[in-house]
Amino acid sequence: MRKPRQPDFIFMACTVASVSYRESLTQDALVHALLSGMVPRNRRPHLRTLFDEASQPLIAGLVQEVSKWAKPGKVVGNVRRIARDLDVLPRVQEWLKTI
Protein backbone atom coordinates (compact mmCIF):
# COMPACT_ATOMS: atom_id res chain seq x y z
CA MET A 1 0.00 0.00 0.00
CA ARG A 2 1.28 3.45 -0.90
CA LYS A 3 1.69 6.23 1.61
CA PRO A 4 -0.58 9.19 1.02
CA ARG A 5 1.29 12.04 -0.58
CA GLN A 6 2.04 14.94 1.74
CA PRO A 7 0.68 18.35 0.76
CA ASP A 8 3.18 20.75 -0.80
CA PHE A 9 2.78 23.60 1.67
CA ILE A 10 5.39 25.76 -0.04
CA PHE A 11 3.55 25.57 -3.36
CA MET A 12 0.17 26.22 -1.70
CA ALA A 13 1.54 29.20 0.24
CA CYS A 14 2.99 30.73 -2.94
CA THR A 15 -0.37 30.31 -4.64
CA VAL A 16 -2.23 32.07 -1.79
CA ALA A 17 0.37 34.85 -1.68
CA SER A 18 0.24 35.49 -5.42
CA VAL A 19 -3.48 35.49 -6.25
CA SER A 20 -3.82 39.28 -6.31
CA TYR A 21 -0.53 40.12 -7.99
CA ARG A 22 0.76 40.12 -11.55
CA GLU A 23 4.09 38.65 -10.49
CA SER A 24 4.05 35.44 -8.49
CA LEU A 25 5.98 34.75 -5.33
CA THR A 26 8.36 31.95 -6.25
CA GLN A 27 8.97 28.99 -4.01
CA ASP A 28 12.66 29.88 -3.81
CA ALA A 29 11.86 33.45 -2.74
CA LEU A 30 9.44 32.26 -0.07
CA VAL A 31 11.86 29.70 1.35
CA HIS A 32 14.70 32.22 1.30
CA ALA A 33 12.56 34.77 3.16
CA LEU A 34 11.56 32.25 5.82
CA LEU A 35 15.12 30.97 6.28
CA SER A 36 16.70 34.44 6.37
CA GLY A 37 13.94 36.49 7.99
CA MET A 38 14.34 39.11 5.27
CA VAL A 39 11.76 39.89 2.60
CA PRO A 40 12.67 41.82 -0.54
CA ARG A 41 10.70 45.07 -0.78
CA ASN A 42 8.88 43.90 -3.91
CA ARG A 43 7.68 40.73 -2.15
CA ARG A 44 6.43 42.34 1.06
CA PRO A 45 2.84 42.60 -0.26
CA HIS A 46 2.92 38.89 -1.12
CA LEU A 47 3.96 37.90 2.40
CA ARG A 48 1.40 40.24 3.96
CA THR A 49 -1.29 38.63 1.79
CA LEU A 50 -0.08 35.18 2.80
CA PHE A 51 -0.25 36.01 6.50
CA ASP A 52 -3.62 37.78 6.12
CA GLU A 53 -5.37 35.15 4.01
CA ALA A 54 -3.79 31.75 4.66
CA SER A 55 -5.29 29.31 7.10
CA GLN A 56 -3.49 28.33 10.29
CA PRO A 57 -2.94 24.74 9.06
CA LEU A 58 -1.30 26.06 5.88
CA ILE A 59 1.09 28.30 7.83
CA ALA A 60 1.85 25.49 10.29
CA GLY A 61 2.61 23.11 7.43
CA LEU A 62 4.73 25.73 5.68
CA VAL A 63 6.78 26.40 8.81
CA GLN A 64 7.22 22.68 9.40
CA GLU A 65 8.25 22.04 5.79
CA VAL A 66 10.79 24.90 5.63
CA SER A 67 12.12 24.06 9.11
CA LYS A 68 13.65 20.88 7.67
CA TRP A 69 16.43 23.11 6.31
CA ALA A 70 17.10 25.14 9.47
CA LYS A 71 18.01 24.83 13.12
CA PRO A 72 15.05 24.22 15.45
CA GLY A 73 13.09 27.41 16.12
CA LYS A 74 14.80 29.49 13.45
CA VAL A 75 11.90 29.57 10.98
CA VAL A 76 9.36 30.31 13.73
CA GLY A 77 11.53 33.22 14.88
CA ASN A 78 11.88 34.49 11.33
CA VAL A 79 8.13 34.26 10.75
CA ARG A 80 7.60 36.36 13.90
CA ARG A 81 10.11 38.94 12.69
CA ILE A 82 8.59 39.12 9.20
CA ALA A 83 5.08 39.40 10.67
CA ARG A 84 6.20 42.19 13.00
CA ASP A 85 7.87 44.04 10.09
CA LEU A 86 4.70 43.65 7.99
CA ASP A 87 2.46 44.73 10.88
CA VAL A 88 0.51 41.43 11.03
CA LEU A 89 2.09 40.02 14.20
CA PRO A 90 -1.03 39.57 16.38
CA ARG A 91 -2.66 37.15 13.93
CA VAL A 92 0.56 35.23 13.33
CA GLN A 93 1.29 35.00 17.08
CA GLU A 94 -2.00 33.12 17.54
CA TRP A 95 -1.04 30.63 14.81
CA LEU A 96 2.43 30.08 16.19
CA LYS A 97 1.03 29.01 19.56
CA THR A 98 -0.21 25.84 17.89
CA ILE A 99 3.03 24.91 16.16
Whole domain around residue 73: which residue ranges? 9-96
In a domain? residue 4: no
In a domain? residue 2: no
Sequence-distant (≥ 6) Cβ neighbours of residue 59 within 8 angstroms: 13, 50, 51, 79, 92, 95
CA atoms within 13 A on the CB side of 69: 11
d(CA 70, CA 72): 6
Q: Structural domain tally of the chain?
A: 1
In a domain? residue 46: yes
In the chain, pLDDT over 90 holds for what percent of residues? 82
pTM of the predicted model as reported, rounded to 2 decimal places:
0.91
Reported as type and span, the H/E element at residue 17 is: helix 9-18
Can you give the pLDDT at residue 97? 77
In a domain? residue 13: yes
